[in-house]
Every structure is written in structure tokens, then in C-alpha cells.
Structure 1
Amino acid sequence: MAKKHTAKELERFIELYLDGVPFRELRSEYGLRISPGTFNMHFLNYKAYGASALEDRDGFNTYTNEFKEKVVKEFLESKTYLTAITRKYKIPSITTVRNWIIKYTNGEATKAYYPKPEVYTMKYRKTSHEERILIVKDCIRNQLNYKQTAQKYNISYNLVYQWVKKYQKYGPDGLIDSRGKRKPDNIQTETERIRAEMAILKARNEYLETENAALKKLQEVESELMFARRDLKRNIKRLKN
């Protein structure tokens, strides 16, 4: 897994971008290792709040029920974009707010969320077959974000990863607790396998659509910056004449 960029590195990339270096060149020539969507979010946060918005706060945010309900209602009752809401309340991930909205609109009670950075070493806790299916489906809907799913359900990263893989291969039967028992002989039927693969593809397509939209937005910003620099040069030239 690639190492995350520090706040100083992100600030340098954004300054280069503002100086006219295209996003694609930042990745190919300068070592940027994040997606268009992530870069766009950092870029917008930087413009709105400055360098302090680039500090890594993952794992240290606490969201109360009241706060989550306030954010969701503001989004639903206004024409504000999800990215704008996320920036306004300095929430690190759009996915976090999207999950709140899904739960709220489905009538599910929102629970206070306390992210835990120790998801990779978390102790095992007992789960039912139904809960494992729920966790796997939630992970798939969340674009296979294993870490966030592990934090949300207070289980280890490795367990979420293993359950998703078993679900892909065996379907729901693969999530039956088989400790001390023989592994299930029956691989899921062709129909079940196709449904599982379609769920994975759907999550992946939603992710790609978001990334493509972000890349298009970055290209629009690059064009605006190019025209602004050209106008500035013209104005300077006029002042000299």
C-alpha cells in the first residue's frame, strides 16, 4: 500500500497545480499518488480553509447523532452539493456523509461514530451469520472501503477483507462460522455468483463515475487558471506600454 502524502506534500502539489502544472503531470512527473476525486477534495478544502485543512484527521473525529442529523437535513432541504456540505463541516470523506444520508432516508437510527485507528489489530468479537452478511454488503456499497467498514462495526480489517472474499466465492454460505467444522463444499450457484459480481461491479462503477466527474472538474479548473494567467499577462503588457 502506498504511503499517504503528508500535509506539506499535499500543499506543495496544490501550489504546483495553481502554478499551472496539470493534474496528470503531477502524477506522472512529481509523484502524486492520489485519485482525481481525492485531489479535488484537498484542493477545494485548501482554497476554503488554507493549509490547516490538509492535516490528516482520520481516526480522530467524533460525530454525535445531533451533528449527523443536522448535516443530513441541511443537505436534503437545500440545493447544496454534497462536496460543499463536506467542506463546510470539514468532514474528511464524502462517503461518510453519503452513508449518513442513506441511513437517514431508510429510517435507520444513526449511531454516534467514534473511528478507531487500531482496526488492523482489533481483537476478535463474535458476530452472527446475518451480521456478517450485513457487514459485507455494507462494505460493497461503500466501494470496498475495508478500513471504514472495520471502524464502523468495531471489527478487524482482516476479517472484513476475508468475509468479502468468501462472499464473492461462496455467496452467503461462505460466511457461516465454520471454526472446527469442515469448509462448505458447495460453491454458490452461477446465479448467486453473478449477483455477487454485479454488486462488486456496481460499487466499482459508482466509484469510477465519481472519479471521472472529479477529473472533469479538475480539467475545468485548469482551463480557468490558464485563461486567468493569459489575461494577467495581457494586463501587465498593457501597463508596460
Structure 2
Amino acid sequence: MKKYSQGFKLKIVQEYLKGKMGYILLAKKYGIPSPTPIRYWVRAYKAFGEEGLQRKRKHKEYPVQFKLDILNFMKQTGASYLETAIRFNMNHPGLIASWKSKFLKEGMDGLLEKARWRPSMSKKLKTTEKKQEKQCHVRSS
């Protein structure tokens, strides 16, 4: 998925809000493959202002209970991912879709935060051993 700058999003949202073009025409005008992102940007802008158009740079961890509350809200109300995100003051409906998918596949375990990938100790040791071997080989030559 292509990432768009906040300024670009704001320009399109403002153009949409002027009322001269709809989602489809704006998508065609700016070469966006689908009008869906524009629809999201407009709703996020209406709900959160310019902050709603910012890309989140920091990974935020949500508690399992929060995720369950969101999924339960969607089930009970029939709200869309976007409506749910706005209701819970989130700016990433795709994250909710991901939680739902994981929950359906893995149950509660799917909602737990997985440890981020880190090199294993054995890999670190092998790298260190190789460096030491090279240093020894250079010294002995």
C-alpha cells in the first residue's frame, strides 16, 4: 500500500470539502487507485482534525481487554471498522481489522502482543565467534 504525506491528504480532503468533486473523481485526478483512502481521510479529518491525517510513527500497544471491548462493540452495534476507530479515538481502522482476523483464527492468543523479533543469543554468539576468528586470522598472517 502506498503511503501518502499528511500535506497531500490535507489538500485532497480540503478539495473534497469544497464540494466540487466526489471521492471517485478526486481519486482519478490524483492517481489514487481507489476512492476508499479518501473516504477514510475525510472521516478522520472530521473526527480528529489535521491530527487524524498523521501517520503514526510509534507502535502503541493496546491491552487485550481493550481489543475485546472494541470487537464486542462492533459485534453488538454492527459498526464499521472506521466508525469503531472513531468511537474509540483511534486513527487506524486497519488495526481493528487485524485484531478481528487474529481473534477469529487464534482466539484470545491472537490478541496478545507478540515479542518483536530479536536476534537469538546463538546468532549473536556465532557472529562474535566469526569476528574473533577473522581477527585471529589477520594477526597470524
- TM-score, structure 2 as length reference: 0.64
How far did residue 84 of structure 1 move? 0.7
When residues 69 and 91 of structure 1 are mapped into structure 2, their CA distance, relative to the original with a 3 A threshold, is farther
When residues 58 and 36 of structure 1 are mapped into structure 2, their CA distance, relative to the original with a 3 A threshold, is farther
Summarize the alignment of residues 154-165 of structure 1 with structure 2, pairs less than 5 Å apart: none
Question: What is the number of equivalent residue pairs in this alignment?
Answer: 116
Aligned twin of 1:108: 107
Contact 1:11 1:54 in 2 (8 A): yes
How far did residue 13 of structure 1 move? 0.4
SS of the residue corresponding to residue 56 of structure 1 reads coil
How far did residue 17 of structure 1 move? 1.2
How far did residue 54 of structure 1 move? 0.5
Instruction: List alignment gaps of at least 5 residues for structure 2.
Output: 121-141
Contact 1:7 1:54 in 2 (8 A): yes
Aligned twin of 2:92: 92
How far did residue 59 of structure 1 move? 4.8
Q: Which moved more, 1:96-105 or 1:79-88?
A: 96-105
Aligned twin of 2:13: 14
- CA distance, structure 1, for counterparts of residue 45 and residue 13 of structure 2: 8
Aligned twin of 1:48: 47
What amino acid sits opposite 1:45 in the alignment? A
Contact 1:58 1:92 in 2 (8 A): no
Q: Deviations over 1:111-162 (max 9, x none)?
A: 1268x7xxxxx7777xxxxxxxxxxxxxxxxxxxxxxxxxxxxxxxxxxxxx
How far did residue 46 of structure 1 move? 0.9
- CA distance, structure 2, for counterparts of residue 124 and residue 69 of structure 1: 31
Q: Deviations over 1:64-117 (max 9, x none)?
A: 2121111111112223233210222214133x2123224434562221268x7x
Aligned twin of 1:60: 59
Contact 2:27 2:35 in 1 (8 A): no
- CA distance, structure 2, for counterparts of residue 59 and residue 12 of structure 1: 24
Contact 1:62 1:113 in 2 (8 A): no
Q: Which gives a bigger RCO, structure 1 or 2 (Cα 8 Å, sep 6+)?
A: 1
What amino acid sits opposite 2:21 in the alignment? V
Provide the aligned C-alpha RMSD in A: 3.0
Contact 1:86 1:93 in 2 (8 A): yes
How far did residue 49 of structure 1 move? 1.7
Seq. identity, %: 15
Aligned twin of 2:80: 81
Contact 1:63 1:113 in 2 (8 A): no
SS of the residue corresponding to residue 26 of structure 1 reads helix
How far did residue 23 of structure 1 move? 3.0
Aligned twin of 1:146: none
- CA distance, structure 2, for counterparts of residue 45 and residue 10 of structure 1: 11
When residues 34 and 87 of structure 1 are mapped into structure 2, their CA distance, relative to the original with a 3 A threshold, is farther
- TM-score, structure 1 as length reference: 0.40
When residues 123 and 113 of structure 1 are mapped into structure 2, their CA distance, relative to the original with a 3 A threshold, is closer
- CA distance, structure 2, for counterparts of residue 113 and residue 16 of structure 1: 41
